[in-house]
């Protein structure tokens, strides 16, 4: 369903819900209040819509009980596609892990006023060390040049591919540690990211690793840094494909 309202200054919404009635009712209510609403019946359909540029939402409304790809795994995929306002919707309270991974929660049934109150309120006041990763280099060019002088292109690619794979694993571990409030584990993982990515010249990820290590007791800051780490990893992947095509 595609709902077209008149007040296009309101954020575009991507609604992901497998229940047809819920989709239709929510989309209709939000459309009548001025939102442009796109909907998907599962996570895979939503990701295809985003990847193909069919929709560029300001907000994703995500049902917590979807068939197939769902939960924190789907949230991670949405983060990789640069979705930074993901709000859970459900008729019951979701798990602490899901709440920690998302940016807010609305209990069904909800209205446009409830959504308006929630929008934009999730962003924590973070330390300046957690900044816009888009302003930084993806990797240190000096480090890359040194690697190329010492190794073959294939070997350099293997190094950065290993860094990317490791970051994906670290992200999952961080997500769990943050949701459980395990500050010691957050600090340990941050130290490992800072060291490994620092050696590889992965500037953004190394800086964020330092944030996890030094601010492990500030879980709101760490949750924000985790969202940035998803973006930093995605940019590193793009660099890898561009500079070292397989």
Range of the domain at 50: 2-118
Phi first, then psi, for residue 189 (nearest 5°) are -65, -40
**Whether residue 138 sits in one domain with residue 114:** no
Residue 78 burial class via C-beta count within 10 angstroms: exposed 0-12, middle 13-18, buried 19 and up: buried
Residue 200's CATH number = 1.20.120.160
Within-domain flag for 148: yes
Q: Of 85, 118, 151, which residue constitutes the final position of a domain? A: 118
- Please report whether residue 123 resides in a domain: no
| pLDDT confidence of residue 130 | 46
pLDDT at residue 4, rounded to an integer = 35
Domain count, the chain: 2
Binned average pLDDT, 10 residues per bin, the chain of 246 residues: 45 91 88 88 93 88 90 88 87 85 86 76 43 61 87 90 93 92 93 90 88 86 86 88 82
Q: Which of 92, 118, 144 is the last residue of a domain?
A: 118
Contacts of 104 (CB under 8 A, 6+ apart): 87, 88, 118, 121, 122
Query: From CA 9, how far away is CA 19, in angstroms rounded?
Result: 28
Q: Tell me what pLDDT residue 177 has.
A: 92
Report how many helices (DSSP H) and strands (DSSP E) the chain contains, helices first.
10, 6
Domain membership flag for residue 42: yes
CATH of residue 95: 3.40.50.2300
Q: Does 165 share its domain with 66?
A: no
């Amino acid at each position: 369903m595609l709902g077209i309202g008149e007040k296009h200054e309101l954020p575009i919404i991507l609604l992901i819900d497998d229940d047809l009635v819920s989709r239709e009712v929510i989309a209709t209510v939000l459309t009548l209040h001025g939102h442009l609403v796109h909907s998907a019946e599962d996570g895979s359909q939503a990701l295809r819509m985003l990847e193909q540029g069919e929709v560029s939402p300001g907000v994703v409304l995500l049902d917590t009980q979807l068939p197939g790809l769902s939960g924190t795994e789907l949230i991670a995929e949405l983060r990789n596609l640069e979705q930074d306002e993901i709000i859970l919707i459900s008729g019951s309270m979701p798990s602490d892990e899901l709440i920690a991974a998302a940016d807010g929660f609305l209990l069904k049934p909800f209205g446009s006023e409830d959504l308006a109150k929630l929008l934009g309120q999730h962003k924590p006041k973070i330390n300046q060390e957690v900044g816009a990763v888009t302003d930084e280099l993806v990797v240190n060019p000096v480090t890359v040049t040194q690697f190329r002088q010492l190794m073959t292109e294939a070997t350099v690619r293997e190094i950065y591919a290993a860094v990317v794979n490791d970051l994906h694993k670290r992200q999952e571990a961080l997500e769990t540690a943050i949701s459980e409030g395990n500050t010691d584990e957050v600090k340990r993982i941050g130290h490992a990211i800072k060291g490994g990515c620092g050696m590889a010249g992965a500037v953004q990820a190394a800086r964020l690793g330092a944030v996890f290590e030094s601010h492990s007791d500030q879980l709101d800051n760490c949750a924000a840094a985790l969202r940035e780490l998803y973006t930093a990893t995605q940019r590193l992947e793009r660099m890898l494909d561009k500079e070292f095509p397989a």
